[in-house]
Structure 1
Amino acid sequence: MSMIGEYLRVTATELHRAIRDPDWALHFVEEVQDAEEETEPAPAEARHFSTDKTWDMLRFLLARAEFPVNVIHGEEPFAEDADWGYGPPRYLRPERVRLAAESLRATSYDQLVSGVDPAELTSAEVYPLGWSEPGALEWGRHRYDGLTQFLEAAAGADDAVLVWLD
């Protein structure tokens, strides 16, 4: 089974409801995922986004760059008793989404991987391993760019973002 980084844009009203009713939130997530699975919108138009298995690689690279927002695990807990796959979901408030979007936009993927030796990822046991493969660091570029577009769109709409590992 794979661990997948997941995100859902939510309005202020939806965030308040999700915090009050985590079961509703999980049902809402599933509805949006099902609807978008058929249409496959671009990250800037999507309500749901996945970093797939690159989440831990991105976590490692962003931590190394002292990124100011925890976009990989979220920052605010809710539904602490719920398990959405690999632990409970968390969220980013709209102001943190804006800061994340600005910071991602200001940090290119090339800057993020500059000076990184794939052996560092292996040594740190970054999921899913296999960092000695040629071009392994390029694996995260598409997801990083997509996450940037997704969070920029969320920031532009003043949305919050739910974050979880599934």
Structure 2
Amino acid sequence: MSMIGEYFRVTAAELERATRDPDWAFDYIDETQDAVDGSEPSPAEARHFSTYQAWHLLGFLLERRGFPVDVIYGEEPLGKAEDWGYGPPQYLPADRVRLGAEALSRLTYDQLISDVDPRDLVTAEIYPLGWEDRASLEWGRDWFAGLTEYFAAAAEEGHAVIVWLD
């Protein structure tokens, strides 16, 4: 079993309902994902996005840079939600999504990894393990690009984002 970083864009009305009724949100997200099952929309077109197992690497890299928004774990609890896999979901309100998108747009993956020693990842026990050399850092490049694109689209639409580990 692996830990997967999950994201779902919601309107202001959907967020309001989700914070009041996290069970509704869980079911709504599941139904929405099932409706697009099999299609692969781009991160900019998708309501749901995943960083798969790269969530921990990206979080480590962003935290080292003092990133202003917690785009990996979210910042606010989603009501009184129960565990959605590996803990309860959190969310970012639309203003924090916008700030995150702006900050991501000013950052490149090369900047994120420029001064990283793979031993730092091993010492920090960054999931998934296997950070033997600098080349292993390339694994996160496409996930970072997708996350950047996803947040830009969410910000443009004025969406909030629900975040969880599954």
Unaligned runs of 5+ in 2: none
Q: Which residue number corresponds to residue 143 of structure 1?
A: 143
Q: Is the 8 Å Cα contact of residues 68 and 100 (structure 2) preserved in structure 1?
A: yes
Match runs of 1:15-26 below 5 Å: 15-26=15-26
Structure 1 CA distance for aligned equivalents of residues 46 and 134 of structure 2: 31
SS where residue 135 of structure 1 aligns?
A: helix
Question: Cα deviation per residue 1:79-109 (whole Å; 9 max; x = unaligned)?
Answer: 4450100000000000000000000010000
Q: Which residue number corresponds to residue 29 of structure 1?
A: 29
Q: Which residue number corresponds to residue 75 of structure 2?
A: 75
Q: Is the 8 Å Cα contact of residues 77 and 91 (structure 1) preserved in structure 2?
A: yes
User: Structure 1 length as normaliser, TM-score?
Assistant: 0.97
One-letter amino acid of the structure 2 residue matched with residue 93 of structure 1 = P
Structure 2 CA distance for aligned equivalents of residues 81 and 137 of structure 1: 34
Match runs of 1:1-166 below 5 Å: 1-133=1-133, 135-166=135-166
In terms of mean alpha carbon deviation, does 116-125 or 128-137 score higher?
Answer: 128-137
Q: Shift of residue 36 of structure 1? A: 2.7
Unaligned runs of 5+ in 1: none
SS where residue 138 of structure 1 aligns?
A: helix
Q: Shift of residue 62 of structure 1? A: 0.4
In terms of mean alpha carbon deviation, does 117-126 or 132-141 score higher?
Answer: 132-141
Q: Is the 8 Å Cα contact of residues 81 and 89 (structure 2) preserved in structure 1?
A: no
Q: What percent of counterpart residues are identical?
A: 60
User: Structure 2 length as normaliser, TM-score?
Assistant: 0.97
One-letter amino acid of the structure 2 residue matched with residue 55 of structure 1 = W
One-letter amino acid of the structure 1 residue matched with residue 30 of structure 2 = E
One-letter amino acid of the structure 2 residue matched with residue 44 of structure 1 = A
Structure 2 CA distance for aligned equivalents of residues 36 and 55 of structure 1: 23
In terms of mean alpha carbon deviation, does 14-23 or 80-89 score higher?
Answer: 80-89
Structure 2 CA distance for aligned equivalents of residues 128 and 37 of structure 1: 26
Structure 2 CA distance for aligned equivalents of residues 46 and 146 of structure 1: 11
Question: Cα deviation per residue 1:1-53 (whole Å; 9 max; x = unaligned)?
Answer: 10000000000000001011111100011112222332110000000000000
One-letter amino acid of the structure 2 residue matched with residue 31 of structure 1 = E
Q: Shift of residue 115 of structure 1? A: 1.0
